[in-house]
């Protein structure tokens, strides 16, 4: 049996899937394993929306910026921060919920992300491939409409899931010493930054990326093309509005 750490050390995102179905029984095992994740106060303040329907995937496609894996993957899982169900239980039982605030959103979002990542590990252990979609937080307002999410529910991430039809090269990570601090945070000198990012910058694919985008440094590809300030501001405003509309920003 493969050791789980070997599996994790060898993992990579998979964006192309075969047409083979992911069976309901297998998916149920993965979902059950996911729901064994740690959860704040054992409240399970999350929901998972399973999308298999082709038409619904087509509706979601533009909301995920037309990333083809949305329609190509047999299964899409949208993970939601969800206080709706817990609030409803409280109210039915004569308890007054005080979860209409930002802290509660963070609590539920953390719960949802823990479930998501556990399902990812379980799925990869069974040989499935998957890709997270960051577009969920950008387009939460529209995803809420398509998936009919009630007040108290906010989508926080999505994964596309299927049997791999590609085996991409593993991509780089920063050296461990760049991200791990012993006992206390030790802030970086400029030469630490130079050293930690050197390998990433020297890679052929990084240099090609810089050339293709007519930039002079890899960092500029991030700041000027991939994650631009104006986009970040725009989507931040949209997301804050979603939190207000879904009832997480009351009394603050």
Ligand X SMILES: Cc1cc2nc3c(=O)[nH]c(=O)nc-3n(C[C@H](O)[C@H](O)[C@H](O)COP(=O)(O)O)c2cc1C
The least distance separating ligand X from the CB of residue 143, rounded to whole angstroms, comes to 13
The residue (of 24 and 166) whose beta carbon lies closer to ligand X is: 166
Per-residue b or e along 58-82, where b marks 16 or more CB atoms closer than 10 Å to that residue's CB: ebbbebbeebebbebbbbbbbbbbb
Question: Distance between terminal CA atoms of the chain?
Answer: 51
Does 67 bind ligand X (CB under 6 A)? Our answer is yes
- Asked if residues 156 and 147 have their Cβ atoms less than 8 Å apart, the reply is no
Does 21 bind ligand X (CB under 6 A)? Our answer is no
**For ligand X, what does the binding mask look like between residues 215 and 244, x meaning CB under 6 A?**
------------------------------
Piece of 102-110, 128-136, 193-201, 213-221 that binds ligand X (CB under 6 A): 128-136
Does 131 bind ligand X (CB under 6 A)? Our answer is yes
The residue (of 86 and 138) whose beta carbon lies closer to ligand X is: 138
Q: Given candidates 97, 132, 203, 238, which one binds ligand X under the rule CB under 6 A?
A: 132
The residue (of 84 and 135) whose beta carbon lies closer to ligand X is: 135
3-state secondary structure of 19: coil
Cα dihedral 151, 155, 161, 167 in deg (nearest 10): 180
Per-residue b or e along 170-181, where b marks 16 or more CB atoms closer than 10 Å to that residue's CB: eeeeeeeeeeee
The Cα 80–Cα 73 span in angstroms is 20
- Which residue's Cβ lies closest to ligand X? 134
Q: Which of residues 150-189 bind ligand X (CB under 6 A)?
A: 157, 171
The residue (of 75 and 87) whose beta carbon lies closer to ligand X is: 75
Q: Which residues bind ligand X (CB under 6 A)?
A: 12-13, 15, 67, 131-135, 157, 171
């Amino acid at each position: 049996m493969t050791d789980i750490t070997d599996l994790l050390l060898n993992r990579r995102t998979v964006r192309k899937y075969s047409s083979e179905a992911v069976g309901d029984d297998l998916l149920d095992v993965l979902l059950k394993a996911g729901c064994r994740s740690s959860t704040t106060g054992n409240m399970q303040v999350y929901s998972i929306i399973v999308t298999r329907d082709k038409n619904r995937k087509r509706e979601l496609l533009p909301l995920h910026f037309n990333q083809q894996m949305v329609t190509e993957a047999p299964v899409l899982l949208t993970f939601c921060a969800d206080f709706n169900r817990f609030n409803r239980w409280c109210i039915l039982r004569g308890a007054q919920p005080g979860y209409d605030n930002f802290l509660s959103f963070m609590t539920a979002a953390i719960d949802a992300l823990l479930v998501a990542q556990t399902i990812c590990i379980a799925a990869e252990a069974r040989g499935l491939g998957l890709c997270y979609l960051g577009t969920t937080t950008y387009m939460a307002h529209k995803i809420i409409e398509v998936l009919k999410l009630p007040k108290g529910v906010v989508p926080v991430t999505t994964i596309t899931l299927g049997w791999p039809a590609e085996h991409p090269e593993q991509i780089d990570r920063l050296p461990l010493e760049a991200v791990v601090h012993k006992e206390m945070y030790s802030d970086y000198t400029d030469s630490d930054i130079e050293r930690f990012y050197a390998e990433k910058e020297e890679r052929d694919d990084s240099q090609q990326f810089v050339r293709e985008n007519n930039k002079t440094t890899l960092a500029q590809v991030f700041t000027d093309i991939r994650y631009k300030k104006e986009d970040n501001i725009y989507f931040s405003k949209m997301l804050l509005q979603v939190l207000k509309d879904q009832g997480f920003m009351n009394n603050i």
